[in-house]
Chain A
Amino acid sequence: MSAVHPDGQVVMVVEDELLVAATLEAALEDGGYHVLGPVATVPAAIGLLRTSQPDMALIDYRLATTTTETLLPSLKSRHIPVCVLTGYGAGQLPAAYAGLTVLEKPFRIRTLMATLSQIGG
Chain B
Amino acid sequence: MPTVTQLTEELRIANEALAAAHRKLAEADARHEAMIGELNHRVRNMLAVVSAVANQTLAKAVDEDVLDAFLERLQAMARIYKLLTETGWSHLPFQELVRETLAANADPSRFSLDGPPLHLAPREALPLGMVIHELAANALKHGALSTANGHVEVCWENPADRGDAIDIRWAESGGPPVVEPQHRGFGMLMVERQLTYELQGHSTVTYARGGLRVTLHLPPQQVSQEHEHERGTSRWPGRHGGGG
Which residues of A are in contact with B by a Cβ distance under 8 Å? 17, 19-20, 22-23, 26-27, 62, 85-89, 92, 104-109
Say yes or no: A87 contacts B40, CB within 8 Å. yes
Say yes or no: A26 contacts B82, CB within 8 Å. no
Complex-state Cα separation, A106 to B19, whole angstroms: 42
User: Nearest residue in A to B47 (C-beta to C-beta)?
Assistant: A106
Partner of A88, one of B37, B52, B72, B75: B37
Which residues of B are in contact with A by a Cβ distance under 8 Å? 37, 40-45, 47-53, 55-56, 71-72, 74-75, 78, 82, 85-86
User: Nearest residue in B to A26 (C-beta to C-beta)?
Assistant: B56
Which residues on the A side are within 8 Å of B86 (C-beta)? 89
5 shortest interchain CB distances as A-B pairs: A105-B48, A87-B44, A23-B52, A106-B48, A87-B45
Say yes or no: A105 contacts B55, CB within 8 Å. no
A-B pairs with beta carbons under 8 A, tally: 63
Say yes or no: B41 contacts A88, CB within 8 Å. yes
Say yes or no: B85 contacts A89, CB within 8 Å. yes
Say yes or no: B49 contacts A20, CB within 8 Å. yes
25 A-B pairs within 8 Å (CB atoms) are namely A17-B48, A17-B49, A17-B52, A20-B48, A20-B49, A20-B52, A23-B52, A23-B55, A26-B56, A62-B41, A86-B41, A87-B41, A87-B45, A87-B48, A88-B40, A89-B85, A104-B78, A105-B44, A106-B44, A106-B75, A106-B78, A107-B48, A108-B71, A108-B72, A109-B55
Which residues on the A side are within 8 Å of B56 (C-beta)? 19, 22-23, 26
6 extra A-B contacts, CB within 8 A, seeds A89-B40, A106-B47: A62-B41, A87-B45, A89-B86, A104-B78, A106-B74, A107-B48
Partner of A87, one of B42, B71, B72, B74: B42
Complex-state Cα separation, A86 to B78, whole angstroms: 12
Q: How far is the CB of B60 from chain A (nearest CB, A)?
A: 11
